[in-house]
Structures are given as C-alpha cells and as structure tokens.
Amino acid sequence: MAEILPSILSPADLRGLSPEQLEQLAAEMRRSLCEVAATRTAHFASNLGVVELCLALHRVFDFSRDRLIWDTGHQIYPHKLITGRFARFGTIRTKGGLMGYPNPEESPYDLFMTGHAGSSVSTALGLASGDDLCGHGDRRSVAVIGDGALPSGIVFEALNNAGFLKKRLLVILNDNRMSICPRVGALAEYLDCIRTNPWYRGIKHQAGEIIKGVPMGRMAEPEDIARGALFLASGDAGFVTGQNLAVNGGSAFL
C-alpha cells in the first residue's frame, strides 16, 4: 500500500521529503509501475530505470517554469506519477485513460505530445531560445535522451546547433546500453569506451571515495553520484556540445 505517493499531488510536494522518504517514494513508484505492467502491455524497463532520475530532476528544477522534455516519451510514467496523475495511473494505456506518452491535455508538466525518437534536444533548445527572446532567460531547459535515440540524425543537428547558439541547455544521456534491442554502432562503442576509460574510472572512484566520507543521506551509490557530478561539473567545457551533457548509467545520479 503506497503511503507517500498518494500525497504527491505536484512536484512541489517532493521538496519537504527526507532522503529516506525519497527512497521509500521511489520504491512505491516502482511498485505502481509493476502493477500496471502486470495487467497490460506497457513500457516497463525504461520507466523503472528513470525513477530516481525523475525525482532528482523534479527536486532540482521547477518544471512549472523550467522545461523538461523526455525524448520519445515512452519513459514518462514516473513523471506522470508525481505530476498529479497518481490517482488515475491505473487507467494508463486504456481507452479514455492516461496516455503512455506525454500529453499536454493531461498536465501542464507535459509540454508536447511526442512518440517519435530524437526530437528532445531540438525541442529543448527551441524552448530555451524562445524563453531568451521573451525575456525569460532564467528558465532552464532540460532534455533526457536514451542511448538508443541519441544516434538519430536530428539529435546531431540539434547538438550542432546547441553548441553554436550557446544556450543554457542541459542534455542528460540515459545510457542503459539498450534501445528496443541491445544497441549497436560506432556511438555505442564510443560510449562504452568512455565508461571503461582508465582515467575516467580512476577519477570516478576517487570522487566516490570522497563522497563516501560526506555525512549525508543518499539515494544512490557514491560512484553513481560521482559519475553524475563529474559530468555536471564539466560545465561549459562540456562533453559533446559545449553545453552540459550528464551521463547516467541507467541508475540514480545527483
């Protein structure tokens, strides 16, 4: 029986939760996902893999003003659970029920109806550009994209454009080594290369050791936190685009 999840009517309700409560909430969200997947065909693994990421994003940003685009949109269930749709969550992917993808008619936290892979980066970049033009430069724009969608041509066009325009844009790569099937290709090999690079592994281990010594509640393993922090810390010297690209190995970071 979920105790915390029913009380999360909007992401603002996450703010008062302790690390332990957040951990419990993540478990309750996973249970809800399992209950749905037990009764119908639904996207499952991709949703289980972004529960902590979703909580972290909604804690750090205020998406009633900031912009969040989930690439493709098939991993949006945790986001739906904490943006006022828990009570109707049992109707997802049924006639007349919640959509299995973003739907602006359901919530102001879903900015566009999507389903095709690869459009998140250009959309988030467009939103950041529009916000700048309208004098809302304080709004942050975030795209979350999987390693399966990343090699899309339009993503590379958008990254190219983003590096040139130098907008305030955060692109989070959810690298779980899976697309619809195990991912293949040169970019996949490149990502594996980064992950196994001795320099990167060494510095991640060292940063993890430092984090272990810090007395604080955590939702993730110290090395996972270190991985997220390392890429977030890369700042303007960023990884691919000249912006920030955070790499998440499919589990929690921040």
Binding site for ligand TPP (CB under 6 A): 46, 72, 74-75, 115-118, 146-149, 174, 176, 178-180
CB of 205 to ligand TPP, least distance (A): 26
CB of 227 to ligand TPP, least distance (A): 17
Query: Rounded distance, CA 254 to CA 232, Å?
Result: 9
CB nearer ligand TPP, residue 162 or residue 172: 172
Q: What tokens were used for 31?
A: 């249970």
Query: Rounded distance, CA 103 to CA 80, Å?
Result: 10
Query: Rounded distance, CA 112 to CA 243, Å?
Result: 23
CB of 121 to ligand TPP, least distance (A): 12
CB of 80 to ligand TPP, least distance (A): 16
Query: Rounded distance, CA 19 to CA 195, Å?
Result: 28
CB nearer ligand TPP, residue 52 or residue 147: 147
CB of 182 to ligand TPP, least distance (A): 10
CB nearer ligand TPP, residue 207 or residue 245: 245
The H-or-E segment that residue 172 falls in is strand 169-174
CB nearer ligand TPP, residue 146 or residue 222: 146
CB of 130 to ligand TPP, least distance (A): 24
CB nearer ligand TPP, residue 70 or residue 109: 70
CB nearer ligand TPP, residue 75 or residue 122: 75
Query: Rounded distance, CA 104 to CA 10, Å?
Result: 15
Output b/e per residue, 141-169; b: 16+ Cβ within 10 A: bbbbbbbbbbbbeebeebbebbeeeebeb
Query: Rounded distance, CA 231 to CA 128, Å?
Result: 21
Q: What tokens were used for 101?
A: 């993808």
HSE-up (13 A, CA, CB side) for residue 75: 28
Q: Of the candidates 61, 87, 73, which has an alpha carbon nearest to the alpha carbon of residue 5?
A: 87
